[in-house]
Chain A
Amino acid sequence: MPGESILLVDDSLAVQDIAQSALYEAGYHVTTASNATALLTAPMLEEAQLIVMDAEMEGLTSTEATRILKQHQATHPIPVLLLVPEEAIGHPESLSLGGASGFLVKPFDPPALVRKVGQVLEQQRLDELARNRLAEAADRIMNQLADQQIQAAVDRKTKLIVERCIQNITATVDQRARTQVEEHVVGLVSDKEQELVKLTVREVAQSMVEKLAASKVEEAMSAILNEQTERAVRNAAEKALPTLIRDKVRDMLANMLPREVESRLQKAAEKMVPEISQQLVGTVEGVAKRVVPRAAREHLPAVIESQVAAALEQVVPRRVSDLVNRELERQLREKIEPTIRDAAARIRRNVVMVNSMIGLLVVAGMAVMFWLTFYGKG
């Protein structure tokens, strides 16, 4: 095939020239050398498609050179055509080529050389083709075997991987379920705890509200009672007795009434007032105990619960308590004050009645004093 590279080795430059001319004309690229060592060190050796070599050369022989070429991996496939001198050929059939692909008797006819070169290259191509086909077939079989082996290995591996995955998933699910159950239990416990806390807070709040309401009522009642009592006494004293009489009465009371009467009266007054006050307080308290808790229980739970929930969520009890306090105050103002006012009115009426009784007692005392003054001495 034109364009193929040939390395031609012959110790004669003339033979090189003859062969080169013929091969060049046939389209081959020919590089020449005069000895086998030059062949083995040729820069283009591994690119050569054919080596044409004189069988009888000085120094390294063609047999040795062919052996070295065939032992070397890169040059092993390069075919070698020997040029054998006709004197060296006794029986061509018994000629040992020593690894060469063919031979040509020397001196050669140049066209015969070209033909022989073409044959060797063609044979080389066919051998190469056969080798390639064989290699392809071997590759195919090897690939099939490899595929089967690979498939089996993949199946085994896949099975192992699936089993391992299932184990992993099971473990993971178990772990996750356990975690979730724990979380759920913890949540339930937390809810329960929250509920208990709420209940406790509610009860505490109710207790606080009740106590607050009671103390408020008590304070209000005490304030009202004191104020009313003081005012009533002052008014009664200022309005009922003229200053003189009052002075007289004071003097008389101081001078004329015996200490015993005064003390009895004082005692009676002292005995009556606390008793009345106690009665009033008891009344008020009773009313308050009945009215305020009921009202609080009826109206406040929702508010309290929302406030408590907010307080629980924000974990800011103070704010909750503030809100609760404000709500309680508002509830107290709205719900309890009328009751308190009613109770105060009743107390006021009782006080008036008590004042009246005191006034009557004073008048009676004065009358007694008059009687004693004017009629007692006598």
Chain B
Amino acid sequence: MAESAAVKTSNPGRPMELEGNLGAFQLPDILKFLSMGAMSGKLTLSGDRRTISLKFKDGRLVGSASPGRMLRLGDVLVTSGLLRRRELDDVLDHQREELRGPAMLGDMLIQRQLVSAEQVSQALALQIKEELWEALSWDSGSFKFEHGPVSDHTRDLVALEIGPLLEEGAARMNQWRDLDRHLNDLRRIYTVRADLATMPEARVNPNTWRILSLINGRRSLQVLIYLAGLGKFETLCAIDQLLGLQLIELVEEPGIAVRGKSSPESHGSQAERASHDPGETGGIRALFGRRRRGEGQGGAVYQGQCGPFASCVGFGCALLNRLNERCGAVTQTDEQPITTLLDERLWREHGLRFRRADLVEWREGRLDASLFEHYALRPGAPKYITGCLEDSMAALGAIGRQMIDRADGQFGPRGMRIIEEVTLSFSDRVEIGWPADFQPRAWIQQWSER
């Protein structure tokens, strides 16, 4: 009965469950059924690569959730310029540490008057639609509906009727499938064409121009989706249109580095290069004199003590570089294939999602904060660089989290011990020039324990 649906009511007292295969039951039919029955509950859809949960209340769609979703509410609001990164982090910390419950981020942001209910509602609707379009495009998968009340701690910020959504979805499906076929690899990177000789006659719509204005030859499609805040469908439509207008071109096929500044092959010599690195004296030099780019603080090598660092971003880069080097050294010692926790792709796909983190560069196999510090150490800069600092630290934290996951997966407890050792060494006796109130231990705990 793999192709059928079943209603499970065997256990009295448990909510009714409806589950089956999407190959036998089309998702639109299931959605219509739930809508017509004015049902409340959670519909979980499992595809080949992802799982998406849709929340229903009285037959209307009130929320969605999916692990590793691209459009997180906080990110959408931050990338749209409606919310500051620090404000988001504060609310997330409060949500995690103090409430210790399923309080909804949107409600908290509204309560703190950081954003309006309408802004949250629009961001939520975008989230829901994006995930619904994706689920509608699946050819196979399974579904499971658990009948019951949805979380009552959230206000009805959004309640989407199924009928209009399905109509819109049907109109988009063909285009969506086409886009998914041509632009299915979100790691692809596009750049603008260099052979433009005259003023382009083509005029693009505002959404397309928004995407075009973000393309710089280093941001992948996935990052563009994050940064634009328009959703996957709109972003891919814009890319498709720009390709059609011959304004952009593909830079890099997945797995092929083209920029020449670094390459996966170069990672093998990281540990070797680290032994010849000028060391932490670079941080001191950054504090007292101008340096050329590439001599950044991020190149500091752990040699039993740490710092001083010109900025917390340089500190963060040095920490992550050190973690990477230590793991690389482990594999080298064990005569295993050299494995790295950190590479350019990781930085591109996770670090550059943070809008103002791109002053941290991937240079010669390492994270380099020298450009950031060049700006940060200008006399008039601190006032204007706070946002970049926040995003850079958030990006480094996200990369750190990814590295922990990788270390855990690759080395197991041994990897975790290395991480603990390195982070401990970076938590104490560290001199950081700016900002003066930066607390390394708190920052490390923030991402390592999350």
Docked complex: A106-120 residues within 8 A CB-CB of B: 107-112
Which residues on the B side are within 8 Å of A42 (C-beta)?
209, 213
Q: Which residue of the partner chain, among A14, A34, A40, A71, contacts B359 with CB atoms under 8 Å? A: A14
Which residues on the A side are within 8 Å of B387 (C-beta)?
17, 21
A55 to chain B, nearest CB (A): 14
Docked complex: B344-403 residues within 8 A CB-CB of A: 355-359, 371-372, 374-375, 378-381, 383-385, 387-388, 391-392
Chain A 270-295 interface mask (CB, 8 Å, partner B; 1/0): 00000000000000000000000000
Report whether B196 and A37 are in contact in the complex, using a CB–CB cutoff of 8 Å.
yes
Which of the segments A60-68, A174-182, A225-233 contacts the partner chain? A60-68
A41-B247 contact, Cβ under 8 Å, with A34-B213, A60-B194, A111-B380: yes
The size bracket of the interface on B is 35 or more
In the complex, whether B244 has a CB less than 8 A from a CB of chain A is no
The CA of A26 and the CA of B233, in the complex, are separated in Å by 37
Which of the segments B199-207, B270-278, B424-432 contacts the partner chain? B199-207
Which residues on the A side are within 8 Å of B213 (C-beta)?
32-35, 38, 42
In the complex, whether A59 has a CB less than 8 A from a CB of chain B is yes
Which residues on the A side are within 8 Å of B375 (C-beta)?
14-15, 18, 107
B193 nearest CB neighbor, chain A only: A59
Which residues on the B side are within 8 Å of A43 (C-beta)?
203, 206, 209
In the complex, whether A11 has a CB less than 8 A from a CB of chain B is yes
Which of the segments B38-46, B92-100, B112-120, B215-223 contacts the partner chain? B215-223
The CA of A35 and the CA of B191, in the complex, are separated in Å by 9
B251 nearest CB neighbor, chain A only: A58
In the complex, whether B292 has a CB less than 8 A from a CB of chain A is yes
Which residues on the A side are within 8 Å of B209 (C-beta)?
38, 41-43
In the complex, whether B198 has a CB less than 8 A from a CB of chain A is yes
Report whether A37 and B192 are in contact in the complex, using a CB–CB cutoff of 8 Å.
yes
Which residues on the B side are within 8 Å of A112 (C-beta)?
380
In the complex, whether B293 has a CB less than 8 A from a CB of chain A is yes
Q: Which residue of the partner chain, among B204, B247, B248, B378, contacts A109 with CB atoms under 8 Å? A: B378
In the complex, whether B319 has a CB less than 8 A from a CB of chain A is no
Report whether B358 and A14 are in contact in the complex, using a CB–CB cutoff of 8 Å.
yes
Docked complex: B158-216 residues within 8 A CB-CB of A: 191-194, 196-200, 202-204, 206, 209, 212-216
Report whether B206 and A35 are in contact in the complex, using a CB–CB cutoff of 8 Å.
no
Task: Jot down 6 A-B pairs with beta carbons below 8 A, ordered by A.
Answer: A12-B216, A14-B358, A18-B388, A35-B191, A41-B202, A109-B380
Pairs of residues from A and B, 7 with the lowest C-beta to C-beta distance, nearest first: A58-B217, A59-B192, A11-B216, A37-B192, A111-B380, A33-B213, A109-B378
